[in-house]
Amino acid sequence: MYRTASAFPSLSSPSSRWKKTVSLCEHEESAVWFPGIVSLSTLTTPCTIAPAAKPVPVNPRNYREYRKGDIIVSLAGIVVNLGLFVACAILFALVGVVGSAMPSLTATFEIVQRMLWWGMWLNVVLAFFNLIPVPPLDGSHVFYHLLPPGWGLKYRQLQGLGFIPVMLLVWVFPGLLQTLLWPAYHLMGVGLLLVRGFAVSPGAFPS
């Protein structure tokens, strides 16, 4: 979720450069889990957990323009998630093309495509989940700059509650969460329509 250290090394704190990771769940001890985020109602199987990487420390003093720097850093991880979603979709199709020419390895290519399916799903959900304007998600940093100064200051104080607002959204208002994640569901549906014809077998999609 937070890849700002890799995208903007000049904006990150020195200690964060030892915490860079390409995979969201490369290290279990550096992941935060949010139970209750379900999958597409008709296109996927139920998924009751979604990973989110631990935030990478960023030093705002390195911003040349605070407002611009804060927005860029906040959107960096989201852009990377969407890029990984597209990359997984392209790889899914390429694996399907190669797999069609090597039918003896269908079972292997099926596993690879299933992994890429999960890569598409997790990255698109994380992108739009992190856009939700609830502190301390990155979307709250962007929303803060859209508010009048007085309201923005009060809104900023919610960050002192840590992940409590996010937990309330996930566990107390799951219907609202589903509504906010509608763009992710829609984009995933479009992605599946585009790659479905490249599946080496029906097993490439979780049942």
**3-state SS of the chain?**
CCCHHHHCHHHECHHHHHCCCCCCCCCHHHEEEEECCCCCCCCCCCCCEEEEECCCCECHHHCCCHHHHHHHHHHHHHHHHHHHHHHHHHHHHHHHHHHHHCHHHHHHHHHHHHHHHHHHHHHHHHHHHHCCCCCCCHHHHHHHHHCCHHHHHHHHHHHHHCCHHHHHHHHCCHHHHHHHCHHHHHHHHHHHHHHHHHCCCHHHCCC
Q: Are 13 and 59 in contact (CB under 8 A)?
A: yes
Residue 120 reports pLDDT greater than 90: yes
What's residue 160's pLDDT?
77
Percent of the chain exceeding pLDDT 70 equals 66
Residue 124 reports pLDDT greater than 70: yes
Q: Residues 7-15: what's their mean pLDDT?
A: 48
Q: Are 48 and 36 in contact (CB under 8 A)?
A: yes
- For the chain, give the mean pLDDT: 75
Q: Which is more confident, 47 or 128?
A: 128
Q: Which is more confident, 100 or 21?
A: 100
What's residue 71's pLDDT?
72
Domain boundaries defined on the chain: 4-204
CA dist 26 and 30 (Å) reads: 8
Q: Residues 130-150: what's their mean pLDDT?
A: 80
What's residue 156's pLDDT?
76
What's residue 55's pLDDT?
57
CA dist 174 and 102 (Å) reads: 44
Distant-in-sequence, close-in-space partners of 95: CB < 8 Å, separation ≥ 6: 109, 112, 113, 116, 198, 200
Q: How far is CA 69 from the centre of its chain?
A: 21
The per-residue pLDDT for range 54-102, each reduced to its tens digit, is 556 666 666 776 666 667 777 888 999 999 999 999 999 999 999 999 9
What's residue 57's pLDDT?
67
Q: Residues 164-170: what's their mean pLDDT?
A: 88
